[in-house]
Structure formats: structure tokens, C-alpha cells
Homo-oligomer: A and B are copies of this chain.
Amino acid sequence: MQLDTIDYAILNALQKDGRLANASLAEKVGLSASACSRRLDTLEKSGVIRGYYARVSNKQLGHNLTAIVNLSLSGQFTKTLNEFEAAVKRCPNIVVCYLMSGEYDYTLHVVAKDLADYERIHRDWLTALPHVVKINSSFALREVIDRPNVGIDADLARSV
């Protein structure tokens, strides 16, 4: 889909406030409410906007621990990867999972309440993941950045 400056402005605004009312959004990007509403509709239907979500405070819910787990599988066969990934998706505490190049096959981010909770997750979920032959966990001591998306401002400045 072809995006112009106004589309980028809409995306930028909604990345910062996903519940911004259409009326305010329209004013911010310099459009009438109806035109803005129609553009937004297009952006959603085309899949540029994948959805909206509320960001909940992990701290307030007692989730104070993030672990980064690197691991390798016994092989790279499709079946092996599929079975592993299916298992990973079932674990609600795994919030990020990438298939990687390099030393390890996968990188996971695991969120837990505390060390005891992590021990439970490790026991009930991580050790149950199939085909894992090597595993390496580190703990996040502090979250320095956690942006929902790559900045669009910068993107704009470069590509327009």
C-alpha cells in the first residue's frame, strides 16, 4: 500500500495514543473528521495497522522479572521447528520468540512474577519444549527501552 505524509502522521499519532479520538486525530493531521475516518479505515483494512492494544504495567501486575533465553534444537527440519514453535506459542509467559541466525536457533523473552515463578515456568514449560539440546538464560536487570514500534518520525525524515 502507498502511504503519503498524512498517513504517516496518522500512524505516528496512533502509535503514541491508540485511543486518540478520530476528531482529535483529524485535527492533528489537518483533515476533516470524515476524511480521517476513511483513511484510518483503509489503513486498518490494508493491514498497515495490525490492531490496537492496551499496554498493561507488568510491575502493577506483579510481573517483575524478564528473562532472555537462547536455545538450540537438535535439528533444523521443518517438523522439528514446527513442533517447537507450537509448544512455545502455548506458553503465556513467553512474549517474544525469534528464529535466529548465529550461535543459537531461538531467542525467547520470558516474563515472570519473580524468581520462584520463573522456576515454575522453567520447570513446567521450558524444560518441556521439544527438541531443545542447548539452553542459556540471562535475566534482565532493568528495562532501558521498550518501544512499541520503530519510530516513524525518523522514518519519515529519511524516506520523504
B141 touches A54 (CB 8 A): no
User: A96 contacts which of B18, B103, B146 (Cβ < 8 Å)?
Assistant: B146
> Please, could you name 15 A-B residue pairs with CB atoms under 8 Å apart, sorted by A?
A16-B53, A17-B53, A18-B53, A46-B60, A48-B61, A49-B55, A55-B149, A88-B145, A89-B145, A95-B146, A96-B146, A100-B138, A101-B138, A104-B138, A148-B148
Given contacts A18-B18, A53-B55, A99-B140, 5 further A-B contacts (CB under 8 A): A11-B56, A14-B53, A49-B55, A68-B100, A88-B144
CB within 8 Å of B: which residues of A? Answer: 1, 3, 11, 14-19, 46-58, 60-61, 63, 66, 68, 85, 88-89, 92-104, 106-107, 111, 138-155
